[in-house]
Amino acid sequence: MQILHLHSTFQPGGKELRAARLMNVFGPAVRHTVVSAVPDALGAASAIDPVIEVAYPTDFEPLAGKPRPARLLRLARAMQHFDLVLSYNWGAMDAVLAHSVFRDTLSLPALVHHEDGFNQDEAARLKPSRNWYRRIALARSAGLLVPSRRLEAIALGVWHQPRGRVHLIENGIDTARYAKRPKPDALPRIVKRPGERWVGTLAGLRAVKNLPRLVRACADLPEPWQLVIAGEGPERETIRAEAIRLGVAHRVHLPGFVADPATAVGLFDIFALSSDSEQFPISVVEAMAAGLPVAAPAVGDVAGMVADENQPFISRPGDEGALSQAIETLALDEALRKRIGAANRDKAVACYDEANMIAAYRRLYASASGRVELG
């Protein structure tokens, strides 16, 4: 079986690492072709098992450009000869439109679209022109997959997608792998020393994550507390500059992308988010599975994801002072951190283990492609 993946970007992030995990689970019986709307943004490839056959063509019709008929036709023709097309986020929407226009004429394979969230340009308000475009482009897709209840409501109410086309599949992880305490040197370029405490996050270093806000929120913590921001992206120097401005650069660490969060996230004592927009961030599930308390704004489904005991530490979106207070309260009370972390761990195991997620994706992809089973 051959699957074509059309990504807005294939840099390491929630949707990309989930896609890589599913490729690994489906095994070598399925071959994959991955295209990124951002050329050479293929960092998530490192998370794919070497036994999986994956192609990254350099001559594929670009996903970004004007949606003129000739270009849409070229995109549609590029989808031929696959068994299933999987598209991801706004950056692949021209290809979704091309598929809708030429599906029957070219006998194209089924297309399943995934929406995982929004960039900075739609963090505060969805663009009406994009809403209209999505309604038209998705009209003949085999399914629209979303990981959060907020996105499900948008798909149904704003993009006017029929109930039968929209599928809510919450992100899941192998929770058992997060129970073991990592080694102090599990992260590159940094070692957790005796007596240190870490506020940590896993995030693409993008503007929508608003990581300078997290630097400010942690700046007044006692000296033993370090801020560890694991990830890669264009905002690295902006984050570093904010740490220098506040005089805390010696306590702010940017170790880079972590290919296997299960081997590192347990080093954190508090997990924190500072994003302007999220949906169902898998990093929160990873933190919960590692037994951590979470301090974060109430963006997307975050407030409903954490255990009841963690609810007081989910702050109003954009309220930097409340986020800082939540982190400080957790930092000063070790017993509180342990109690909340244990409750989060219990909820992650009960609700967010990956077995259900994988089974749901397997069923939907198999049904769309006309297969009895996938992988």
- Give pLDDT, residue 372: 67
**Domains, the chain, ordered by start:** 2-172+354-369 (3.40.50.2000), 175-351 (3.40.50.2000)
Which residue shows structure tokens 């036994």?
Answer: 51
Cα dist. 133→37, 86, 89, 98, 129 in Å?
Answer: 18, 18, 13, 12, 6
Q: What is the pTM of this model?
A: 0.80
pLDDT in tens, the chain (375 residues): 999 999 999 998 889 999 999 999 999 999 999 999 998 999 999 999 999 999 999 999 999 999 999 999 999 999 999 999 999 999 999 999 999 999 999 999 999 999 998 887 887 789 999 999 999 999 999 999 999 999 999 999 999 999 999 999 999 999 999 999 999 999 988 999 999 999 999 999 999 999 999 999 999 999 999 999 999 999 999 999 999 999 999 999 999 999 889 999 999 999 999 999 998 999 999 999 999 999 999 999 999 999 999 999 999 999 999 999 999 999 999 999 999 999 999 999 999 999 999 999 999 999 999 986 776
Tokens of 275: 């994003």
pLDDT for the residue numbered 118: 84
Burial class of residue 346, CB neighbours in 10 A (0-12, 13-18, 19+): middle
Sort 226 into a burial class: Cβ within 10 Å, 0-12 / 13-18 / 19+: buried
Return the pLDDT at 163. 97
270-272, strands of its sheet edge to edge? 252-253, 225-230, 197-202, 270-272, 294-297, 314-315
CB proximity list for 310: less than 8 A, separation 6 or greater: 293, 294, 340, 343, 344
- Asked if residue 190 lies in contact with residue 228, where contact means CB atoms within 8 angstroms, the answer is yes
Go through 177-200 and write b for each residue having 16 or more CB atoms within 10 A of its CB, e for each that does not.
ebeeebeeebbeebebeeebbbbb
25: number of Cβ within 10 Å:
17
Neighbours of 332 (CB within 10 A): 12
Helix axes 14-26, 354-369, angle to 10 degrees: 70
CA–CA separation, 72 and 63 (whole Å):
10
Please state, as a whole number, how many other Cβ atoms lie within 10 Å of the Cβ of residue 156: 16
- Using DSSP's 3-state secondary structure scheme, residue 294 falls into strand
- What's the rounded Cα separation, in Å, for the pair 121 and 296? 21
Distance separating alpha carbons of residues 200 and 287, to the nearest angstrom: 9
